[in-house]
A and B are shown apart, each in its own frame.
Chain A
Amino acid sequence: MESPICSSSLPPPLPLPSSLNSSSTGSAGSIPGNSTSSSQILPPLSIGSGNYDRAWNDPPVFSLEVNGMGKPVPTKLNKRVAYPGISSTTIPSIGDGGIVTNTPVPLLRPPLCRIDNSTSGTGVSQLSNLPPMILIPPTKVDFIPSFPSPGSTPEDEDTQRQGTTSSITTVDVTMSQIEMKTRIEVMKILEEALSDGIHLDSNIEAEVKKRLEILDSKWDSLPSEVQLKLNELGNWLEKRDYKRAETIQLSLSAEFMYHCAPWIMGLKKIIRKNL
């Protein structure tokens, strides 16, 4: 009897699946609400799981950059195999995917990973030797939100409604990279940016000011992630990097619109007039 997997004491040379490249490093999460996937590891592309309470088999959540600005990627997995024996020229052989053996697998555990400390070589065998800690990118900080994620006991109805987009949010900067500012400092930067450069129509400017006042009054009730993003936005505005400030504004709109709706358009106006 032939077995596609060697015995557990003698692991086979590790293969190189196409997707097991260096990009498969990142934060981990799980898909709630699906019993079969409780241990499923979400690779780094997604920033949260779908809303399983409201929709059936909801896909994971990607950032706005991926959804709105991402370049379409050509389908990588687009090969098919023909049934063997139909072609007048070639017949797929075992291993080509044409014929698949249906040998039962008696193994009780997966083949062991080969531990080899040499640094030469590429592919999975090298990757598999890396300690798991290295798989977590050093420049990313995963924020566990202060509000409950879907499935947990709802304490705050408002924040629970945001669960689909903000259950796990990855912010692309470390805490040390963000110069933490107080509410007063951020508001001051925003007001300065409003009066800087091109002047808006007086009516519009008054509307923007009104929205900044709303932001000021609601600051303390905002989730920590929103405050952090506002800090970051303030930093970019201070450095007059309006492109990056716009990215933060869009990310706030996409992920926290419930909290941002009353004032986000004010920020947009400030950024757009300076762009």
Chain B
Amino acid sequence: MSTYAEFIEQQESRDGVRFSWNVWPSSKLEATRLVVPLGCLFTPLKERLDLPPIQYDPVLCTRNTCRAILNPLCQVDYRAKFWVCNFCFQRNPFPQQYAAMTETCQPAELIPQFSTIEYTIMRATVPPPIFLYVIDTCMDVEELGSLKESLQLSLSLLPSNALIGLITFGKMVSVHELGGQTGCAKSYVFRGTKDISAKQLQEMLGLTRYAGGVGQGQPQQPGVPPGQAQRPQQPANRFLQLLSSVDMQVTDLLGELQRDPWGVPQGKRSLRSTGVALSIAVGLLDCCFPGAGSRIMVFINGPCSQGPGQVVNDDLKQPIRSHHDIEKDNAKYLKKAVKHYEALAERAASSGHAIDIYSCALDQTGLLEMKSCCNTTGGHMVMGDSFNSSLFKQTFQRVYNRNEHGELRMGFNASVEVKTSRELKINGAIGACVSLGIKSSSVSETEMGLGGTCQWKICTLNPNATLGIFFEIVNQHGAPIPQGGRGCIQFITQYQHSSGQQRVRVTTVARNWADATSNIYHISAGFDQECSAVLMARLAVFRAESDEGTDVLRWVDRMLIRLCQKFGEYSKDDPGSFRLPENYTLYPQFIFHLRRSQFLQVFNNSPDETTFYRHMLNREDLTQSLIMIQPILYSYSFNGPPEPVLLDTSSIQADRILLMDTFFQILIFHGETIAQWRAQRFQDLPEYENFKQLLEAPVTDAQDILQSRFPMPRYIDTEQGGSQARFLLSKVNPSNTHNNPYAYGGVRKT
């Protein structure tokens, strides 16, 4: 391996792990002096096509307090058939099945290239995935029509062994019975002003628990495809039915769905019972399928305006809360609504059920209050203008994205456990997860994010879902470098695969220890500025949820200054002398753009927008998160191939086209001259074919990005002086303004 950059890239593609520091200081004191905490971004379901299919159980360390899994970093005595755990140094015998193992004939879990390996637990019984649609009907006919079409399409995208349910709501909440006599739709109607407990719901609807059970016990039938073997013999109730038996009925039901029949007087909002509808959905799954992989998919066109979870009243004179109202403690319904949705999120998470929110409206819909539903359960949060937009339609289609085997790209009901060497402890995790509250010797007293545990639950996750995990070095200053010269971390992810299998993915990584007093150069060279920026962004956003905005900004600034003091080279009182090592050069930019981003600055954003942006930052992988922090800017010209340019006003040139990717928006900006040429339609003349191709190049690149992004970003095509150029101007560093036209990047004086 020639450089740290290559090493980092290789580790990321192999294990889905990036550390802020790739050489670890051997003492607690030295670790705190590094300013940026030791942490990692871990993508539990990182797509690996080369993983061997392993259909036996993992071998565990026999020490009860350890239970780490056999991995390539363990020492193995092939003759005596023993292995030494690399976490607790316990000597463990191999099970009988490993008797034929030799140094030249190793099981896959001992081969170094399989530091990440996935076991399929064949004896586990897993019910099929459940999709429960919860649909707001308080919307105009056109909106409802488009939503119905998207939902009808989704019935063709779901696996046929999935279970499906339907709840609609407006002023009342209707739970639809499926699988009954065709042509005779039946539903149970609940008042939208009164919450229903799970027990009441069970009694009222006559719900019974799924008989198949969840977890381990019954073996899979040989020769029967997984997932199909576990079809329930009898549906648990009339409300959640096998898709293949009710798809035609559900299509008809959706087709016949009408907007909420209750009239809306002039000057009033629709009475919308989102809180009760969600409570009934959670209760329904809680009663029938606890522990089964499920998605509650909520589609809303406006805020909840009555009953528990209400975020605004029905009087249009009263606007929904703004950041200013929240700051002044003038948001009447906020606390109560947040409490309601937090309780629902906890109930759903404890049963392993995810909640997705698809919010399409021009005004706010209460995402701020409902955020815990998505953030705690790992569900999607999608924010758009209209259900009749291509943004929503395509985003929704991408929820059902499939892999090359035709299986949904999503896992359900996952738990992530972290095991560490003795010298490391876990501070906590930040991501779309919930703490399982499992203490172990690896858990630190100091919390960062969701701490006090070594296990977290993620009710649903896709290949991009990423956790930020923070660690603390507990080795005392002056103590020798720990045994073995390197520290180890093991991530154990148990989840329900979309094919219906229970799987366990094990990732074991190690990094070298170094004495910071004598080898600071090695530690410094192992700094990963990209990972560090994302981890710091997650920490800052986590703080911003509870602290004052200015305090968070000050903290971000202070941390940057301290890092530059520690690793920069400079002569006192000579700003021009300041230099940073090569692997730190982008870090100040990342932090600069972070502190002026929508994640930390709420001005000009609604509370719902802030919630949505922060939600995405907390769940995406490193590459995507970094795009959110510092947008990518490419310049296209006749001078050469497209090149990355500074996110700075100096990059705006008359003869260039810029392509900016902010994750949430893809923007193409035509410089003044290019825009003039385009307006004069030079691209239509055969002799200016090159100009036509120049115009097409950023569009093609933008489409490449648009193809794979989730959720679908907005697409902006603008030019110098165009009103939408403001999206570019708000992101670039304003080095060149009306006050300093000849500053850096401006026209040079001759």
Q: Which residues of A contact B (CB under 8 A)?
A: 1, 4-5, 11-12, 14-20, 23-24, 31, 34, 36-37, 39-43, 45-46, 48-51, 54-62, 64, 66-83, 85-90, 95-105, 107, 109-113, 115, 124, 127-132, 161, 164-165, 203-204, 207-208, 211, 249-250, 253-254, 257-258, 261-262, 264-266, 268-269, 272
Contact, CB under 8 Å: B699 / A41: yes
Contact, CB under 8 Å: A258 / B145: yes
Select B696's contact among A24, A87, A254, A258, beta carbons within 8 Å: A24
A-side contacts of B585, CB under 8 Å: 82-83, 86-87
Contact, CB under 8 Å: A257 / B582: no
Contact, CB under 8 Å: A17 / B682: no
Select A60's contact among B634, B715, B747, beta carbons within 8 Å: B715
Q: Is B311 an interface position by the 8 A CB rule?
A: no
- Expressed in whole angstroms, the Cα–Cα distance for A130 and B641 within the complex equals 20
CB distance from B634 to the nearest CB of A (A): 5
CB distance from B584 to the nearest CB of A (A): 8
Closest partner residue, chain A, to B397 (CB atom):
A67
Contact, CB under 8 Å: A97 / B644: yes
Chain B CB count within 10 A is highest, among A17, A99, A265, for: A17
Select A67's contact among B398, B670, B699, B717, beta carbons within 8 Å: B398
Give 14 CB contacts A-B under 8 Å. A11-B690, A14-B690, A19-B696, A39-B681, A50-B390, A54-B388, A55-B384, A55-B388, A57-B715, A58-B390, A102-B653, A113-B689, A124-B690, A164-B393
Contact, CB under 8 Å: B682 / A109: yes
Contact, CB under 8 Å: A36 / B718: yes
| B622-652 interface (Cβ within 8 A of A) | 623-624, 627, 630, 632, 634-647, 650-651
CB distance from A232 to the nearest CB of B (A): 17
A-side contacts of B651, CB under 8 Å: 100
CB distance from A265 to the nearest CB of B (A): 4
Contact, CB under 8 Å: B717 / A61: no
CB distance from A256 to the nearest CB of B (A): 9
Contact, CB under 8 Å: B655 / A77: no
- Expressed in whole angstroms, the Cα–Cα distance for A55 and B572 within the complex equals 54
- Expressed in whole angstroms, the Cα–Cα distance for A37 and B717 within the complex equals 6
Q: Is B463 an interface position by the 8 A CB rule?
A: yes
Contact, CB under 8 Å: A161 / B683: no
Select A62's contact among B251, B589, B707, beta carbons within 8 Å: B707
B-side contacts of A56, CB under 8 Å: 385, 714
- Expressed in whole angstroms, the Cα–Cα distance for A227 and B455 within the complex equals 55
- Expressed in whole angstroms, the Cα–Cα distance for A67 and B627 within the complex equals 21
B-side contacts of A95, CB under 8 Å: 639-640, 643
- Expressed in whole angstroms, the Cα–Cα distance for A41 and B696 within the complex equals 6
- Expressed in whole angstroms, the Cα–Cα distance for A132 and B685 within the complex equals 10
- Expressed in whole angstroms, the Cα–Cα distance for A67 and B390 within the complex equals 11
Contact, CB under 8 Å: A57 / B714: yes
- Expressed in whole angstroms, the Cα–Cα distance for A51 and B388 within the complex equals 7
- Expressed in whole angstroms, the Cα–Cα distance for A128 and B687 within the complex equals 9
Closest partner residue, chain A, to B390 (CB atom):
A50
- Expressed in whole angstroms, the Cα–Cα distance for A254 and B722 within the complex equals 34
- Expressed in whole angstroms, the Cα–Cα distance for A87 and B690 within the complex equals 37
Contact, CB under 8 Å: B463 / A211: no
| B431-466 interface (Cβ within 8 A of A) | 463
Contact, CB under 8 Å: B589 / A82: yes
CB distance from A215 to the nearest CB of B (A): 13
- Expressed in whole angstroms, the Cα–Cα distance for A68 and B384 within the complex equals 19
Contact, CB under 8 Å: B578 / A257: no
Q: Is B559 an interface position by the 8 A CB rule?
A: no
- Expressed in whole angstroms, the Cα–Cα distance for A249 and B157 within the complex equals 11
Chain B CB count within 10 A is highest, among A76, A78, A130, A131, for: A78
Closest partner residue, chain B, to A271 (CB atom):
B156
CB distance from A68 to the nearest CB of B (A): 5
Select B708's contact among A64, A73, A266, beta carbons within 8 Å: A73
Contact, CB under 8 Å: B569 / A15: no
Q: A102-B745, A105-B654, A264-B251 are in contact. Are A249 and B156 (CB under 8 A)?
A: yes
Q: How large is the interface on B (under 10, 10 to 19, 20 to 34, 35 or more residues)?
A: 35 or more
CB distance from B702 to the nearest CB of A (A): 9
A-side contacts of B386, CB under 8 Å: 51, 54-55
Contact, CB under 8 Å: A110 / B646: no
Closest partner residue, chain A, to B746 (CB atom):
A102
- Add 12 more A-B contacts to A43-B696, A48-B390 (CB < 8 A): A11-B690, A17-B642, A19-B701, A55-B392, A56-B714, A57-B716, A77-B701, A80-B644, A80-B647, A86-B588, A100-B635, A262-B255
CB distance from B337 to the nearest CB of A (A): 27
Select A86's contact among B385, B578, B661, beta carbons within 8 Å: B578
Contact, CB under 8 Å: A261 / B394: no
- Expressed in whole angstroms, the Cα–Cα distance for A23 and B142 within the complex equals 37
Q: A20-B696, A257-B153 are in contact. Are A60 and B706 (CB under 8 A)?
A: yes
B-side contacts of A257, CB under 8 Å: 149-150, 152-153
Contact, CB under 8 Å: B142 / A75: no
Interface majority SS on A: helix, strand, loop or mixed?
Answer: loop
Contact, CB under 8 Å: A113 / B687: yes
Chain B CB count within 10 A is highest, among A77, A113, A264, for: A77
Closest partner residue, chain B, to A132 (CB atom):
B686
B-side contacts of A62, CB under 8 Å: 394, 703, 706-707
Closest partner residue, chain A, to B659 (CB atom):
A77
- Expressed in whole angstroms, the Cα–Cα distance for A243 and B494 within the complex equals 33
- Expressed in whole angstroms, the Cα–Cα distance for A161 and B386 within the complex equals 13
B-side contacts of A103, CB under 8 Å: 747
Select B639's contact among A15, A85, A124, A269, beta carbons within 8 Å: A15
- Expressed in whole angstroms, the Cα–Cα distance for A67 and B392 within the complex equals 12
Q: A50-B391, A68-B397 are in contact. Are A80 and B683 (CB under 8 A)?
A: no
Closest partner residue, chain A, to B588 (CB atom):
A86
Task: Of the listed stretches B98-106, B164-172, B399-407, B418-426, name the one at the interface; the rest are far from the partner chain.
Answer: B399-407
B-side contacts of A49, CB under 8 Å: 390
Q: Is B574 an interface position by the 8 A CB rule?
A: no
- Expressed in whole angstroms, the Cα–Cα distance for A109 and B682 within the complex equals 8
B-side contacts of A105, CB under 8 Å: 653-655, 673
Select A124's contact among B401, B693, B713, beta carbons within 8 Å: B693
A-side contacts of B655, CB under 8 Å: 4-5, 105, 107
Closest partner residue, chain A, to B157 (CB atom):
A68
Select A128's contact among B244, B624, B680, B690, beta carbons within 8 Å: B690
Contact, CB under 8 Å: A40 / B385: no
- Expressed in whole angstroms, the Cα–Cα distance for A26 and B368 within the complex equals 43
B-side contacts of A61, CB under 8 Å: 390, 393-394
- Expressed in whole angstroms, the Cα–Cα distance for A109 and B715 within the complex equals 28
A-side contacts of B393, CB under 8 Å: 61, 164-165
Q: A58-B714, A97-B645 are in contact. Are A77 and B637 (CB under 8 A)?
A: no
B-side contacts of A82, CB under 8 Å: 585-586, 589
Closest partner residue, chain A, to B636 (CB atom):
A17
Q: A5-B639, A19-B698 are in contact. Are A112 and B385 (CB under 8 A)?
A: no
B-side contacts of A101, CB under 8 Å: 748
Q: Is B694 an interface position by the 8 A CB rule?
A: yes
CB distance from B623 to the nearest CB of A (A): 6
Q: A36-B724, A75-B705, A105-B673 are in contact. Are A207 and B182 (CB under 8 A)?
A: yes
B-side contacts of A98, CB under 8 Å: 646
Closest partner residue, chain B, to A34 (CB atom):
B717
Select B641's contact among A15, A129, A266, beta carbons within 8 Å: A15
CB distance from A272 to the nearest CB of B (A): 7
- Expressed in whole angstroms, the Cα–Cα distance for A111 and B689 within the complex equals 10
CB distance from A184 to the nearest CB of B (A): 24
Contact, CB under 8 Å: A70 / B389: no
Closest partner residue, chain A, to B150 (CB atom):
A257
Contact, CB under 8 Å: A23 / B700: yes
